Structure 1
């Protein structure tokens, strides 16, 4: 990795991306959403503390070591579904149920918005199913960050499954237009129909 010419304890966004193993735009997204604290030099260049980057790597290492993440099957032709849920048992149940639909899907899981964005830096899902109340980066911040990127994540369908009421969601700033909201307990039948409809639309367009 290239070192900063002025301070080994400070990284540019590109150096941080190399260290984290993600795309430059992903690091920029994390900076804009507050995941990575950064400041600007007199010349307008962003700088990130090496300590903050190493801390994020350690947090992600701990999260990815848990049971919540499933490895993708690696078939690029499959419809990609990512489930984001901080409760490990519910995350595992969601993944198990979705795989049980026996559809051409690649299913992955993440414990929070940090983990999800890290994975999206490598492979963007077609459908994101996420909780809202999560530690670290919650669903509100993650969705707002994704939608703010425009075309980069614009084709991704986002489905929220939450215990929050409509008024509670509104009190916390609401959600972007086009995000579909389901309330817990998880309505598996409705989500399955949504996925089947999306797959049917793709097949018709092929």
Structure 2
């Protein structure tokens, strides 16, 4: 006898809008997470998308349990100021300016790390692979400069910048967006990009150094004062 196909438990299903509210994201970001396989989903007979509530909680648990990857530019940094509480770091006299890159591409992580080592060896450099890890790491490191991609896993760059603006340290930080999106493709994110310098990745090596230099100088002067 043929058995009927198993259907998802109704208690385990939620809409993309509900997931977006749960994660603090745009509905489009949730749809992209489903497309990437980060969340389990199916469609109802009427064509409406439903997401497994269990997969959402599992995703959140993995994010909470994950340790953001640090990428110090010098070996001494690995056990240095970033391991101290924020208040102790702020009290440390003359610490180096701190740069945090939030970028999921290892190619661009390596490229920017190399640029930092060659042209700004006095600065600390750290990297995070996605929006949630970047937000957590920013809260812990209180970086002086943040380099943020727009298309990030989990939390896109626009949502990330909006979240960063709510953190106390942000008033003393500088944000630079580094993206492969052209002006037309960036239009849906303009609400978060007002007043933020944007560098297209094709011109990264030309435009980033002259933009970073005064920001790091200003941060270094503030830290030394």
TM range (shorter): 0.5 to 0.7
The match for 2:177 is: 160
The match for 1:70 is: 71
Evaluate the alpha carbon distance shift between residue 176 and residue 139 of structure 1 in structure 2; reply closer, same or farther with a 3 A threshold.
Answer: same
Q: Secondary structure at the match of 1:182?
A: strand
> Structure 2 CA distance, aligned partners of 1:153 and 1:193?
22
Which has the higher relative contact order, 1 or 2, with Cα contacts under 8 A spaced 6 or more apart? Answer: 2
Does 108-117 or 73-82 show the bigger shift?
73-82
Evaluate the alpha carbon distance shift between residue 101 and residue 151 of structure 1 in structure 2; reply closer, same or farther with a 3 A threshold.
Answer: same
TM-score by length of 1: 0.64
The match for 1:4 is: none
Q: CA deviation at 1:32?
A: 7.7
More helix by share: 2
The match for 2:105 is: 87
Q: Does residue 182 of the first structure (1) align with residue 183 of the second (2)?
A: no
TM-score by length of 2: 0.59
Q: What residue ranges of structure 1 are gaps of 5+ in the alignment?
A: 1-30, 36-48
Q: Does residue 105 of the first structure (1) align with residue 123 of the second (2)?
A: yes
> Structure 1 CA distance, aligned partners of 2:136 and 2:220?
29
Aligned CA-pair RMSD: 2.9
Query: Which 4+ stretches in 1 moved above 3 angstroms?
Result: 31-35, 49-53, 199-206
Q: What residue ranges of structure 2 are gaps of 5+ in the alignment?
A: 1-21, 27-55, 82-88, 90-94
Contact 1:169 1:175 in 2 (8 A): no
Which protein shows a greater Rg? 2
How many equivalent residue pairs? 157
